[in-house]
Amino acid sequence: MRNLEAGDMKLIVICALLLLKVSLGNACASGRFTESGQCCSLCPAGFGVEVDCGKENTKCEPCPQGTFSSSEDLSPCRPCAKCPRSVPTAASCSASRDTQCECDNGFFFLSVHSLCAPCSKCSRGQGATQECGLLGDTNCQVCAPGTFSEELISTKPCQACTRCSESEVEIRSCMPNSDTLCMDKKLDILSRPDETGEEEAVTPSTGTPKFTPQDEGGINNTLVYVSVLAALVLGLLVYVAYKCWRSCKQKKALSKARAAELGTSPEGTKRDSKQDNRLYINLPPHRKEEVERLLQEGSGRGWSHLGTALGYEPEQLDLFGHGEAPAHTLLSNWAQKESSTLGLLCSALARIERPDVVTALNCPTQGVSVV
């Protein structure tokens, strides 16, 4: 009997703790509880978890030198990042903030891969809640009610929706990807002459013929909606025609690029044992721009193939591809390495069959030769 009562009491205590967790779940910031039902405390910025929450509450400790914690959470301190070579340090690492590296405009420092990655851009219907820069990548969020963003690619926040005035009527309400559509209530709409055969009236101010509607409550509204519908259909036709024209233009340009590439493709390449030990980073700017342009053009054996030949992982190449100039991003990041010599670069270009880029680099003939 005593064993049964003890078991019942234990079950009651467990049920009470579960009910307490459910009722206080929204009020507990960590979402975790101790065995006694107490909400687990979060470690503040600059502190990491020393002992996980379990039997007792969380125990925190200050982040030692070389580590940091930038937000309230239940994780230990993380190691500080180091800026790559040739990337200046904007702010040193502290207990509550990671190292800030000053990348070029349009890039941010990605500490996971220790490189400057291209900034992300918000799509239509989204706005930026954090600009790309020292604090990290662009933070995009769907526009909240009452705001919108019509730009296909943007780094700006959402804009406030337009409100129709008293003299306007709302044709379409505001949506995350489009603003409110308003139209003036006062429209000079022509109608048939009445049965008496009266002549059409002319407005003195504008000299425009104007008739009196027979049924202002019905015909007026019908003509308004017909006019709006006709305008929308016309706009849609213009948009479709523009998209078709642009698609045809892009296909022609792509066909020309492929034809030019096939006409200048080499039969083969071979490597020699000697290599050029000059550093790529010391090349003149105009030579670098020419190399980047050649790798950016065309659809085959471009910058991504070169990145694979230089030993980059697919995840890193995918990050480079999000930017507007991935070839520049790849070569700028590779130039930060100590072994970034022209000999290694020309060997990699030979493996992907790009003798035109080798010629632009002006490598010695004994380093890489074309058969």
Q: How many angstroms separate the most distant Cα atoms in the chain?
A: 107
Percent share of the chain, pLDDT over 70: 74
How open is the CA angle 156-158-162, to the nearest 5 degrees? 130
**Mean pLDDT value across residues 72-94:** 87
Task: Grade residue 227 by pLDDT with cuts at 50, 70 and 90.
Answer: confident
pTM of the full structure: 0.43
Positions of E strands within the chain: 47-51, 59-62, 67-68, 78-79, 89-91, 100-101, 107-110, 115-118, 126-130, 139-142, 147-148, 159-160, 168-172, 181-184, 201-202, 209-210, 269-271, 368-370
Of the listed ranges 52-56, 81-85, 258-262, 263-267, the least confidently predicted one is 263-267
Helix (H, G, I), strand (E, B) or coil at 212: coil
> Domains in the chain, start-ordered, CATH in brackets?
2-78 (2.10.50.10), 80-118 (no CATH), 193-263 (no CATH), 269-370 (1.10.533.10)
Q: What is the pLDDT of residue 145?
A: 94
Chain segment 250-274, per-residue pLDDT in tens: 777 666 655 544 444 333 334 443 5
Residue 129: is its pLDDT beyond 50?
A: yes
Residue 146: is its pLDDT beyond 90?
A: yes
Contact 77, 48 (CB under 8 A): yes
Name the average pLDDT for the chain: 77
Which residue carries 């603003």 as its tokens?
Answer: 179
- Provide the CA 283 distance to its chain's centre, in angstroms: 32
What does the chain come to in residues?
371
Helix (H, G, I), strand (E, B) or coil at 128: strand
Chain segment 311-357, per-residue pLDDT in tens: 898 888 888 888 778 888 889 888 888 888 988 999 888 888 888 88
Chain segment 293-313, per-residue pLDDT in tens: 888 876 568 888 888 988 898
Task: Grade residue 135 by pLDDT with cuts at 50, 70 and 90.
Answer: confident
